[in-house]
Each structure stands twice: as C-alpha cells, then as structure tokens.
Amino acid sequence: MRVVDLGLLPYTQAEALQLATLAEVQEGGEETLYLVEHPKVITLGRQGGQDNLHISAEQLASQGIELAQTARGGNITCHFPGQLVAYPIFRVDKRKGGIRKFFADMEEATLRTAAHFGVAASRREGYPGVWTREPTETHERARKLCSMGIGVRRGITYHGLALNVGPDVSLFQLITLCGIAGAAPTSLSLEAGRTITLKDVKDVLTEHFRACFAHTAMAQNPAPLR
C-alpha cells in the first residue's frame, strides 16, 4: 500500500488525482492511500444534501467557500484545514466481505486512532462513520467525529473518510451534518481537551490502516509516508 501525503490541496484537484490513480490501479498499479487537507469546501453526495445547506451558493462564494457535487455516497459534509481526509484507492472487488467489510475496516482504523489519543468512540448501526456519543432517537447530543462516503468505479474505491482533528469545527454550522438533524460535530482535539496535530494523526492513522487492511494484498509491501 503506497501512502502519499498531499498536504493542503483543493478538493477538485484531489478528486482528479484520485480518478487518475484509480485508472492506474485498474491497470494493475499499486493501491494508494492519499492523506490530505482541503481548503474550505462543502460537498454534496449522491443522496443529495442541497436541502441541508443553510446558506446560498452565492453566500458561500463570498466567504471563499467552495461548493462541490461529488460521486461519493452519503449526504452533505464539509472539509477544512484541521480535518484529515483519507482517500483509499483500493481494489474492493478483491476483498473478502466486499463494501461492508471495507467500511468496517475504515471505521476500525479510525476507532483505533481515536483510542490512541485517549478518545472513546464507537460505531453506530445505520450511520457510517465514527461517533463519540450514541445518537438518541432524535439524534440529540450525538457527536460525530468522522464521516465516511465512498465511490466505486470498475471495482476500485475512491473518496473515503474525513476525521476532524483540530478544535475549530465551525464550518459545520452552515449545514445539517450529513443530513442528520440534531447531530453535532466534534474533533479529536475537542474530545481530548488538548490540541492534537495533524502530523501526529497522519502517522497513527497510517499505522492502523496498514494493520486493518493487512489481511489483503494491499498492505504486504508497506512504503514510507512521504
């Protein structure tokens, strides 16, 4: 599994890179995990999300916030500096357990990363991603730490997960988080009560991605983070 740190990169550029890499993997290239931060952007998934956007596209543009339609699953979410985004370009059609196991492994890598920093988190049935409080029937007080949504093209995944790391999650005020009324965003720094750096989280998440996906051919020849 090749791991590439893209630093801070606009969303549309990262999406183009994913598609180019997907084509390479489809032709036999090495599976790749991209780690990246994005400038402020709100993205809409295949299940929509426009109705969960609280301001107009014109208002977003005036604040320098991009609005992007994507091919991933899920509803509306947002990306911003201080959030770690991971894009696994993996052969899901070669994996035992298929998409369900793929999501479970992404969640497990995130859960282990949260635990490394002393943050108790969990899965929630029916709600992909990682939470720090169990949603009630109305989702009040539910706190979402990590959102997930993927696309699959020719048996290969792209898009992935967005793990909130820094203390500023204010961009979520402009949307209904993942279209779930009553859910609130949180981050590793907020939950831990101290500042946690993206550099530290990149290293830890990479380690746990390797461990969780090691049962496939994807992690048999680990490459250094670069």
What positions carry a catalytic annotation?
178
Which residue, chain included where needed, has tokens 């029916």?
Answer: 126
Q: Are 62 and 33 in contact (CB under 8 A)?
A: no
- CA angle, 94 then 98 then 101, to 5°: 120
Q: Are 163 and 188 in contact (CB under 8 A)?
A: yes
* C-alpha–C-alpha distance, residues 189 and 178, integer Å: 21
* C-alpha–C-alpha distance, residues 64 and 160, integer Å: 24
Q: Which of 136, 138, 130, 123 is nearest to 185 (CA)?
A: 130
Q: Which of 167, 159, 135, 162 is nearest to 147 (CA)?
A: 162
* C-alpha–C-alpha distance, residues 142 and 132, integer Å: 7
